[in-house]
Structure 1
Amino acid sequence: MIGLETERLIFRQWEPSDYEQFSKFYSDEKNARFVGGVKSKEEAYRLLATYIGHYELNGYSYLAVAEKTSKNLIGTVGLWNSRPWPEPELGYWILSEHQGKGFATEAGLAVKIFALEALKFDSLVSYIDPSNEASIQLALRLGAKYDSEIDLLDFGLHLVYKYW
């Protein structure tokens, strides 16, 4: 998955220089409310390390996504499937200054194709907070369809959007 590219984006492993933007994203309630909640700097660091560890264990994770030309971090798009997770998930968040440019759709489509074709996942979903309308719209643009509701571990009620 590292090195996956689209027309404008490249997927790469997280770098120490990404930490400041990562922790800033998670320190803001507006950003973090749909992705596990606000994190202290230490909690953000541990989450970033978790993303890296998930990749080492599985060969995929939520990766850093950067613009090809500027190399600037724009956010994360990737796959999650820890042991207690119900089924593989396509997840995403984009830094506010890069939203509205089509990056999430572009990256999400690349990850969906990678998961279903290269990794041969039998299923792929996005778990979405019912009040996260932007994420619902993105899942629909990526070809997902509403499937069900789930009480998602410690995260509460989520809608399940399934990619077929």
Structure 2
Amino acid sequence: MRQAPTITTARLTLRPHVARDFDAYADIFASDRAGYMGQLKRRQAWFSFCSDVAQWSLFGYGAWGVERTDDGVFLGQVALLKPDHFPELELGWMMTPDGEGHGYAFEAAQAARDFAYVELGQETLVSYISPANTRSIALAMRLGAAHDESAALPDGESPAETIVYRHPDPAALQDGGMEAYA
């Protein structure tokens, strides 16, 4: 059985989820801040949490719990997920209120993106985002992703509900790549 590897960045540790992460996870999904992802009651959040964790064992990718390295405070989740209704592997993120506004989502998502391309050998990676979620769109763009109007959407979703941002391979961002123009 495979579980999430631990990745350390300048300020964060991306690690396998542990049971104590669930309360904060459920709180995120119960809050208004989850409106773009679909608010979930605690019971539904449990199934989502277990699915995010289980994808490591089933597919070799999944979700990480994100914590601040210096004090171990749980800040949210970053994930590489492809549930059955997604046409492509998705890079997703969600942060607790304490995790927002400090660049943690960018740092964690950048590490997960790099892992997808370098360690998993992915050839493509997307983020499915609500068109109204301007903060996630801004983060995707900061990561170097571009809106891909021709990309397939998750089953049952329309362009009014979901748009696709395609993330570049981090190798393309070196030597004057896309970030040089940001």
TM-score, normalisation: structure 1: 0.92
Partner in structure 2 of residue 48 of structure 1: 49
Counterpart for residue 103 of structure 1: 104
Name the Cα RMSD after superposition: 1.5
- How far does residue 59 in structure 1 lie from its aligned partner after superposition? 1.9
Give the C-alpha shift of residue 100 in structure 1.
0.5
Which runs of no fewer than 5 residues in structure 1 stay unpaired? none
- Find the counterpart in structure 2 of residue 132 from structure 1: 133
Q: Distance in 1 between matches of 2:157 and 2:51?
A: 17
The aligned amino acid for 1:112 is R
Cα deviation code 1:46-74 (max 9, x no counterpart):
11111111111122112111111111110
Q: CA deviation at 1:113?
A: 1.0
> 2 CA distance for matches of 1:127 and 1:84?
12
Identity of aligned residues (%): 29
Q: Take 1:62 and 1:112, find their aligned partners in 2: how far apart are those partners? A: 12
Rounded Cα–Cα distance in structure 2 between residues aligned with 1:125 and 1:16: 28
Secondary structure, aligned partner of 2:7: coil
- For 1:131 and 1:50, how far apart are their aligned partners in 2? 26
Amino acid at match of 2:163: L
Shift of 1:83: 3.7
Kindly state the Cα deviation for residue 82 of structure 1 after the two structures are TM-superposed.
Answer: 2.8
Is 1:23 the equivalent of 2:20?
A: no
CA offsets 1:113-156 (integer angstroms, 9 cap, x no match)? 11111111111111110000000000000010111165422454
Matches for 1:8-87 after TM superposition, within 5 Å: 8-28=11-31, 30-35=32-37, 37-87=38-88
TM-superposed CA distance for 1:22, in Å, is: 1.1
Amino acid of the residue matched to residue 54 of structure 1? Q
Contact 2:78 2:112 in 1 (8 A): yes
Normalised by the size of structure 2, how large is the TM-score?
Answer: 0.83
Cα distance per residue 1:8-63 (max 9 Å; x no partner): 111111111111111111111x221122x121111111111111111111221121
Alpha-carbon distance in 1 for matches of 2:101, 2:59: 31
Stretches of structure 2 that go unaligned for 5 or more consecutive residues are 169-182
In 1, distance between residues paired with 2:97 and 2:112? 21
Greater strand share, structure number: 1
**Matched positions, count:** 162
